Amino acid sequence: MRMRRIRGNKILRKMTEETTLRVSDFIYPLFVVEGEDIKSEIPSMPGIYHFSIDRLGEEIHELEDLGIKSVILFGIPSYKDELGSSAYDENGIIQKAVRKIKSISKNILVITDVCMCEYTSHGHCGILNENGDVENDITLDYLSKIALSHAKAGADVIAPSDMMDFRVEKIRKTLDENGFKNIPIMAYSAKYASNFYGPFRDAADSAPSFGDRKSYQMDYHNGKEAMREIALDLDEDSDFIIVKPALSYLDIIKQAKDTFNTNIVAYNVSGEYSMVKNAIKAGLVSEEIIYEILISIKRAGAKLIITYHAKEMAEKLRKERNDFI
């Protein structure tokens, strides 16, 4: 009998899967807050928590047990001002969190998100001029100060998410000049001005108090522009590039993969996460949908995925491995 697909053998089908997920593909976002004894669920993101520094230990051990290798940190600072100065404070929330995680475990790669929107009183990703517009070049000085303070605290990878022009070059130069030549930069190169960040902005208290981010984040009508942004960031010596969000942007991931010889990281963002979690809760779809989604992101060409689903996926992959053997 002629057949188009692999003849009915489950093991053979498993062995010949083109796309697979490993637990080391995932980067897990962690939200850190000031205060004590806090582990509180973020209302807009079921199953995701705010942690105070003293409660990070239990979470880090859980991640290690699950085999998750990497986290990306987001901080909610104790104070905000026009210049976002809590972002580069030696005793800022991220700096403290990095030191704490490093004291708990040497086996977790710590990535820090470098941006200003969580730290500025106006909620924009940079320094504003008198017209209320973000001043690109002045902002670069602040971003590199933030990056350096993260490196000094012990961060393993710096991930600038601000979308200012030439920030990779400036951060690279600052890191190099201060003895951090070996710290890689993972630039959010193709970051779209997306509606999918809604739950995150609640979680990180980072919604702009006026206007939007369309002057510095990308317009989702455009794909080729993303290739240009990525080319420029690679030129400035970014070690990895991030495409964000992931799901409505699988074509961008694929184009980037086909165009550049680099590791592509996809950010499966908060809106994508919360929609799925709520749809599962409502009984509209099975939770298998999570696996299908993450496979699709890898199939498109992502090497790594920043995802809030990392923990539940790690459990699923472990179970699948046991069932298969």
For residue 245, what are the CA distances in angstroms to 64, 126, 130, 157, 178? 26, 21, 31, 20, 32
CA-nearest of 161, 169, 308 to 242 is: 161
> Is 244 annotated as catalytic?
yes
- Answer yes or no: 191 catalytic: yes
Q: How far is the CB of 274 from ligand PBG (least distance, A)?
A: 9
Nearer to ligand PBG, 176 or 212 (CB): 212
- Cβ at position 204, least distance to ligand PBG in Å: 7
Considering the complex, state which of residue 27 and residue 125 has its C-beta at the smaller distance from ligand PBG. 125
- The SS3 of residue 208 is coil
- Cβ at position 225, least distance to ligand PBG in Å: 17
CB 93 within 8 Å of CB 34: yes
Toward ligand PBG, which CB reaches closer, 49 or 178? 49
> Which of the following is catalytic: 69, 244, 277, 316?
244
Cβ–Cβ < 8 Å for 111, 187: no
Q: What are phi and psi of 71, to 5 degrees?
A: -125, 155
Residue with tokens 């930069």: 185
In sequence order, what DSSP letters do the residues of 107-164 get, joined into one string? SSEEEEEE-STTTBTT--SS-B-TTS-B-HHHHHHHHHHHHHHHHHHT-SEEEE-S--
Task: Please pick, among 191, 277, 298, 316, the residue that the annotation labels catalytic.
Answer: 191
Complex with ligand PBG: residue 245 or 301, whichever CB lies closer: 245
On whether the CB atoms of residues 26 and 310 are closer than 8 A, the answer is: yes
Query: What's the min distance (Å) between Cβ of 268 and ligand PBG?
Result: 8
State which residue, 29 or 301, has the beta carbon closest to ligand PBG.
Answer: 29
**244 class by beta-carbon count within 10 Å (0-12 exposed, 13-18 middle, 19+ buried):** buried
In the complex, what is the shortest distance from the CB of residue 187 to ligand PBG, in angstroms, rounded to a whole number?
A: 12
Min dist. Cβ of residue 106 to ligand PBG (A): 26
Nearer to ligand PBG, 33 or 115 (CB): 115
Burial 101-117 (b: 16+ CB within 10 A, else e): beebeeebebbbbbbbb
Residues found near ligand PBG in the complex (CB under 6 A): 113, 115, 117, 125, 161, 197, 200-201, 206, 269-270
The two structure tokens encoding residue 144: 């590199």
Q: State which amino acid sits at residue 287.
A: E
* Strand-strand pairing, 240-244 and 109-114: unpaired
Please identify every residue annotated as catalytic: 191, 244
